[in-house]
Amino acid sequence: MKKEIHPEWYPDAKVIVEGEVVMTVGATKPELSVEIWSGTHPFYTGQQRLVDTEGQVDRFMRRLRKREEIQSTLEAEEERRDITNFSVEEMELGTRATNSLKEAGVETVGDVLARLEDGEDALLAIQGIGQKALIDIKRYLRAEDLLD
């Protein structure tokens, strides 16, 4: 082993925090000055606190509010897009069948579904609705996944 290439070893080096010796350790320097050690560090003392660095909490709350706004907008759009709220004119049944449904008080696709739950005869009983219109209604409802 070569001589004088290794630093001198101090087995009882003093660790100094704020001018006070807190412990001794082995080191290559006789004294070590530190700002934080396990006796004052919040993690070890249990006095850990959250620090709002540069408004991180505020930024998070803004993002959360924006996300909630987007979610409510999407829900409103989904409700507007709800096919059962569409007018019977959207079904493109033809003028005669559409007018007949409106005269019978069937204004929306949801109303048509309600009548269809009572059976096909409930729709066929409406003056101006025949087999062809019933087939077109069912085809439209199946295309929109409202009917099996």
Strand partners, 27: 10
Looking at CATH, the fold of the domain delimited by 10-45 is given as Rhinovirus 14, subunit 4 (4.10.80)
132: left (phi over 0), alpha (psi -120 to 50) or beta: alpha
- CB 126, CB 101: distance < 8 Å: yes
Which residue has better confidence, 24 or 3?
24
pLDDT beyond 70 at 48:
no
- For residue 1, what pLDDT band results from cuts at 50, 70 and 90? low
What is the dihedral angle through the alpha carbons of 119, 123, 127, 128, rounded to the nearest 10 degrees?
Answer: -140
pLDDT value at residue 142: 87
What residue has token string 């907008």? Answer: 73
Per-residue pLDDT band for 49 (boundaries 50, 70, 90) equals low
Residue 110's SS3 state is helix
The predicted structure's pLDDT at residue 24: 92
90: its two tokens: 């959207």
For residue 67, the model assigns a pLDDT of 95
CA-CA distance, 141 to 124, in Å (whole number)? 16
pLDDT tens, position by position, 96-131: 888 888 888 888 888 888 888 888 888 888 888 888
pLDDT for res 28: 93
Q: Which two tokens stand for residue 92?
A: 């493109």
Q: Which CATH architecture has domain 84-143?
A: Orthogonal Bundle (1.10)
pLDDT tens sequence across 50-102: 666 677 888 888 999 999 999 999 888 877 777 777 888 888 888 888 888 88
